[in-house]
Amino acid sequence: MTDTIDRVAIVTGGSGGIGRASALRLAADGMAVVVHYNGNRERADEAVRAITDAGGRAVAAGGDISDEAAATALFDVAEREFGGVDVLVHTAGIMPLSPLAQLDLDVFDRIQRVNVRGTFIVDKLAVQRVRTGGAIINFSTSIIRLRPPAYAAYAASKAAVEVISLILARELRGKDITVNTIAPGPTATPLFLHGKSEELIAQIANNNPYQRLGEPEDIVEAVAFLAGPARWVNGQTIFVNGGAA
């Protein structure tokens, strides 16, 4: 079992939703945390205050993870402030929705840039800079199994994330760094709730055996497991969706 004390985590998208919950949980488990944001510094600072007020260690760092220089600076912050990086939790992503035939290709390109290129960049940096015994945790989606209309571009980007993760796990043979993907189901985050009617949300919530949406705290149980004791879990996509798919 890996001791989480003195480990350092970078959480991309840490200013809200699953990212914020991940940062709080890993800090509660004893890790120092770099809370990444892109455009919402106030929310990131709030997460940092919540961690430090509870006796933990955290700093906020901003930047576009699809830009290699900005992503590199994020890892620089972790090394400068806490001495290194042990865990990458990559939750940052975007989810514009549209039927395929109506999707603006500029929007499609932006989805792929943030979700696919962003993952590729932060994973590449993690390979170079995460210490032995570390963990890379990417995020996919249960939408890949559920396949509802309007999600084609988003699902395509997250399918790419899964493949990147599975191949990277094999490329890291002999490095003692795990690479896994978490695929949440519908979760009550601003990203999911945006633009949906209460009726639609209730309908989606009823689709799993628990008859509710997931909460970020449900998802971070898997994050904490993969970031800490789960050394024999590697090259996997773990669906965390209450049985929805």
Q: pLDDT tens for residues 170-222? A: 999 999 999 999 999 888 887 777 778 888 888 888 888 988 988 999 999 99
Average pLDDT over residues 131-153: 95
- Name the residue type at position 120: F
> What single-letter DSSP state applies at residue 98?
-
Query: Is the per-residue pLDDT at 237 higher than 60?
Result: yes
pLDDT, residue 199, reads 86
- The tokens of 25 are what? 């949980």
Is 151 in the active site? no
pTM: 0.94
pLDDT, residue 157, reads 98
Q: What is the DSSP string of 4-58?
A: -TT-EEEEETTTSHHHHHHHHHHHHTT-EEEEEESS-HHHHHHHHHHHHHTT--E
18 to 59, 92, 166, 186, 227: CA distances (angstroms): 18, 9, 22, 12, 15
Q: How far is 144 from 154, CA to CA, in rounded Å?
A: 9
Residue where the block lists tokens 């709080």: 24
166, 235 Cβ separation under 8 angstroms: yes
Q: How far is CA 124 from the centre of its chain?
A: 15
Average pLDDT over residues 107-130: 98
Residue range 2-61, pLDDT digits in tens:
566 689 999 999 998 999 999 999 999 999 999 999 989 999 999 999 999 999 999 999
Average pLDDT over residues 112-129: 98
- Name the residue type at position 158: K
Query: Is the per-residue pLDDT at 146 higher than 60?
Result: yes
Query: Is the per-residue pLDDT at 149 higher than 90?
Result: yes
pLDDT, residue 16, reads 83
pLDDT, residue 4, reads 63
Angle value at C-alpha 223, between 58 and 147, nearest 5 degrees: 125
The half-sphere exposure of 137 on its side-chain side, counting CA atoms within 13 A, is 35
CATH fold, domain 8-240, is: Rossmann fold (3.40.50)
Residue range 86-112, pLDDT digits in tens:
999 999 999 999 999 999 999 999 999
72 to 76, 83, 121, 140: CA distances (angstroms): 6, 15, 9, 22
* Residue 149: closest CA among 200, 190, 109, 215: 200
Helix/strand/coil percentages in the chain, nearest 5: 45, 20, 35
Find the catalytic residue in 37, 151, 154, 210.
154
- Domains of the chain, by residue range, sit at 8-240
